[in-house]
Amino acid sequence: MSGTWVDVLMEAHRILGILIIIYVAMSAAVYLFLTAAAAFSLWRDRDLSEIQYSTVLETELVPPLSIIVPAYNEEINIVGSVRSLLSINYKQFEIVVVNDGSKDKTVEIMLEEFDMTEVKGRVPFSGLKKETKPLRAVYRSLRHPNLVLVDKENGGKADALNVGINVCRYPYFVSLDGDTVLDTDAFIKVVKPIMDARPGEEIVATGGSVGIANGSAVDSGYLNSESVRLSNKPIVVMQVVEYLRAFLMGRIGLSRYNMLLLVSGAFGVFKKSWVIEVGGYETGTIGEDMELTVRLHELIRRKKSKARIVYVPEPVCWTEAPESFTILKRQRTRWHRGLYESLNSHKKMILNPRYGRVGMLSMPFFLFIELLGPLVELLGYFTIIFGFFLGRINIEISLLLALVMLLFGSLMSTMSVLFEEWRFHNYNRISDTFRLFFYALSESFWYRPVMTWWRAEGLFQAIRGKKHGWGEMTRVNVLGANKKTGTIPGTNPGVNPVPPEKKE
Amino acid sequence: MSDASVLRILWIAVVLLILLIALTLFYLVERKVRRTRHRQQVAEAVKMFAAPDSPLADYLDSGKESRKLSASGEGMRREALEEALLNRLAVSASHTERERIYKFAAGYFGEEYEYLLNRRRWSDRMNVLLHIEKFKMVGLKATILDRLDRLGKQSKQDDERFLLIRTLASFQAEETLGYMEVAAARFSELQLMQVLRPLRDELLDRLIRDFDGLPIRIRRCLLDTLRISNARTTEVLELLERSIRSEDKESRIRALKALANFGYMTPEAADYFESRMAGDEEIIWPERLMHARLAGAVREERFMPHLERMMADPSYEVRREAAASLAQYRNGLERIGRIAEGHPDRFARDMAVETLERRAYERNVG
């Protein structure tokens, strides 16, 4: 009796082992492919001069943009954020602040600070066919005619964005996330693909890379590449490497074949008519940015359109990364739940040839490698340990196999550090490069297992159906923007350390 | 497969990966060190050139080239000079200084740029084109034309094609006009406008004269370009007035917008315009918006009733524009006041109140 049991176990273990090896080989192939695609495009663009932007900016020929800023309990930061947005390096834009039923004095402070008066009667309305929470009032600043404040009842970030879409005037809008620090030329960089679109080619959305601001000097809400510094904290450096890999490898590769599934909510430009056609942001989800991008893809395919969703490798905005494990964990489990939700609500696209490359390649990529990856990885560790006890594993082989995997991961990470150097050279000190490199090497040995565990946890939470609350709405705080108010010129040290303040 | 051969493969993989990682590190550090040193030298040189007693400053003041300045070095010097000159161009507006910078750049960078233009590396070519444009190096026109001819037809070359043509336009080269068809087929509107914008005098006149023979996309963009560059000749006026009667909706809207910016129209055109405003033909709101704007820009009594009617337009943007235009008229504010009190349409009343509030604020601040 016990003999057959052992046999069954052994057999199961063998099959599992083979499956895992196949999985690993395939995901390695995918990563290699993405790396090659990214390398190809970055190699072409390496060391391209920044004056390409200044020339365009001088010509004043830029498409007008509506910037939507959702705000929830932002009385401390909102004025600074809006001020720094008002001074952006761009010619034609409007700012639509949407107060999402804040319980504090966000509205009062805005009205006071920018001399806003109520706009009576009907305001422009883009015709989004989606129920939004009722508007209380719309105000326009008398001092800055391009600044609008919409006061509405609380409905969450997606709802606030939908209201912003309804009220804004221009054909392209920018969704701006909380705690985002902008690059001084962020808008022109992200808009460039729209400006350069070939006749007949429509750009539905563009987004740029997101960098990590911790450790850098933020000057009145902006951060440009000269002031980027690498943080001293290992956990932050690790995230820098992670972001570089995710953006420079993953997204360039996917965008090249128009398979980009995620335009980051931190900073994305969208064509309003398309977003309205797909019905705006979905309320009540965690990953409303990914959710929207997927639906845009769906519509593109359905209309058999040549429209594109484009990714700009330039770092256009900077965000503050968690510096403690507790908060990092919360963030990662939440991201994973968001991924699960988006994929779950678009199940029918996965491996559906009707959706072309997005359905056949990028959705499965996100499902099998991004979503289920952690699970398989855990299973792999488990198989090894289990096999060890079953006594049927060649320890030398398993250890070597593990080593190969880890080294492969490290190679991918170091390549992304190299890509950064080719194209942007944001980390200019040799010591920074060394640190990035060695942390990238070490990633597989400590950071990655932890991430794997948390992401698996997030997956389980998602399957169990954990809901997310309003507490998770990110705050609008263009970092350090509020730092300048109240400081006498001259006493400002010029270098504002990023405040260690946390949200979530 | 035996365990031993699996082991061998794995060991090879491990060694290979370690080798690759080491190679990456080596390349990365080498590149970084070189770049950092290079940037440092460039920065020092730029600082040197920026000093008030530098040979560059001497030259820009006097126009006489000293030997010290042209004592050429290697690539580092070129970059430093480029940067120093670009900085100068960005801050100083003096005409003679600009001319001197262009002359110097032509003499000093000409040969090297010509070589770089034909380099294999794409980013080298793009960078040098941007510099050629900034330094207005007309001497390189032949090379640019040659490069354009040899450029492949593929769309991936379009970024380069665009820069080449834009540079030609900035030289006022008449060859630019020969590329209009290509440009219309391949470039975005904003790119077309970047090509059209620098064209002046003779070339611009030719475009206006041959307007009807141009591709439709060029025509539309030309109307916008004329507005942005504030071109104010009788030929332009004639073209704009002709274009508000165009069959093409886009052209009409842009011509109306340009005409509003022009601020004047002939009586005949005004007659036509009024009949169009009064006509009962279905007109889309962006065109109605431009009607309102033009009526505010030329300010003729007979447009006033139409503007008042537009204050009750279904579109917010049109109402707002109509109110702003009406406020431009003599007695306009009084009429808006009357609308605020007794207009039958609620939206018109609201818009009138909003406009009055804004006016009051502006008076207080201004």
ipTM of the complex model: 0.79
A126 in helix, strand or coil? coil
Note whether residue B127 is domain-resident: no
Using the 3D structure, point to which of A138, A170, A202 is the last residue of a domain.
A170
Using the 3D structure, point to which of A170, A205, A224 is the last residue of a domain.
A170
**Average confidence (pLDDT) over A124-129:** 70
> What pLDDT score was predicted for residue A401?
81
Do A319 and A236 belong together in one domain?
Answer: yes
* Neighbouring residues of A366: CB distance < 8 A, sequence distance ≥ 6: A261, A339, A343
Using the 3D structure, point to which of A170, A195, A215 is the last residue of a domain.
A170
CB contact under 8 A, A47 and B127: yes
* Beta carbons within 10 angstroms of residue B76's beta carbon: 16
In terms of pLDDT, which residue wins out, A140 or A199?
A140
What is the C-alpha to C-alpha distance for residues B97 and B90, in angstroms, rounded to an integer? 12
Do A209 and A197 belong together in one domain?
Answer: yes
Note whether residue B77 is domain-resident: no
**pTM, 2 dp:** 0.83
* Residues of the domain holding B283: 264-366
Report residue B305 as tokens.
């009733």
Note whether residue B148 is domain-resident: no
> What pLDDT score was predicted for residue A492?
32
Do A448 and A475 belong together in one domain?
Answer: yes
Report residue A471 as tokens.
């507490």
Do A122 and A160 belong together in one domain?
Answer: yes
> What pLDDT score was predicted for residue B6?
83
pLDDT, tens digit only, all 366 positions of chain B: 677 888 898 899 999 999 999 999 899 889 888 888 888 888 888 888 778 777 777 777 777 776 666 654 445 577 888 888 888 888 776 888 888 888 888 888 888 899 999 888 888 899 999 999 989 999 999 999 999 998 888 888 888 999 999 999 999 999 999 999 999 999 998 899 999 999 988 999 999 999 999 999 999 999 999 998 888 899 999 999 999 999 999 999 999 999 999 999 999 999 999 999 988 778 999 999 999 999 999 999 999 999 999 999 988 889 999 999 999 998 999 999 999 998 999 889 989 988 888 888 777 765
* Neighbouring residues of A441: CB distance < 8 A, sequence distance ≥ 6: A410, A413, A414, B21
- Cβ pair A379, A23 in contact under 8 A: no
- Cβ pair A441, B21 in contact under 8 A: yes
Report residue A327 as tokens.
């908060």
Do A130 and A270 belong together in one domain?
Answer: no
How many Å lie between the alpha carbon of A157 and the closest alpha carbon of chain B?
26
> What pLDDT score was predicted for residue A271?
94
The domain that holds B279 is classified in CATH as 1.25.10.10
- Sheet containing strand A308-319, edge to edge, reads A116-118, A135-141, A147-152, A93-100, A65-71, A172-176, A267-271, A203-212, A308-319, A180-182
pLDDT at A265 over 80: no
- Cβ pair A418, B27 in contact under 8 A: yes
Task: Please count the structural domains in chain A.
Answer: 2
Do A413 and A488 belong together in one domain?
Answer: yes
**Average confidence (pLDDT) over A56-82:** 84
Note whether residue B154 is domain-resident: no
Do A384 and A456 belong together in one domain?
Answer: yes
Note whether residue B125 is domain-resident: no
Do A138 and A240 belong together in one domain?
Answer: no
Do A318 and A198 belong together in one domain?
Answer: yes
Note whether residue B115 is domain-resident: no
The domain that holds A138 is classified in CATH as 3.90.550.10
- Cβ pair A89, A58 in contact under 8 A: no
Percent of chain A with pLDDT over 70: 88
State the best of B8, B10, B86 to mutate against chain A, taking most chain A CBs within 10 Å: B10
Contacts 24+ apart (CB under 8 A), B232-240: B232/B262, B235/B205, B235/B208, B235/B209, B236/B208, B236/B262, B237/B262, B237/B264, B237/B265, B237/B266, B239/B208, B239/B211
> What pLDDT score was predicted for residue B46?
83
Do A348 and A440 belong together in one domain?
Answer: yes
Highest mean pLDDT among A6-20, A461-475, A480-494, B195-209: B195-209
CB contact under 8 A, B317 and A169: yes
Do A38 and A124 belong together in one domain?
Answer: no
How many Å lie between the alpha carbon of B267 and the closest alpha carbon of chain A?
32
Do A367 and A388 belong together in one domain?
Answer: yes
**What chain A residue is nearest to B349 in terms of C-alpha separation?**
A121
CB contact under 8 A, B358 and A142: yes
What is the C-alpha to C-alpha distance for residues A380 and A387, in angstroms, rounded to an integer? 10
* Residues of the domain holding A363: 1-63+177-504
- Stretch 166-225 of chain A: residues touching chain B, C-beta under 8 Å: 169, 195-199
Closest CB from A55, A63, A425 relative to B130: A55
Note whether residue B273 is domain-resident: yes
> What pLDDT score was predicted for residue A199?
82
Note whether residue B172 is domain-resident: no
**Average confidence (pLDDT) over A488-496:** 31
**Average confidence (pLDDT) over A237-250:** 88
Length reported for chain A? 504
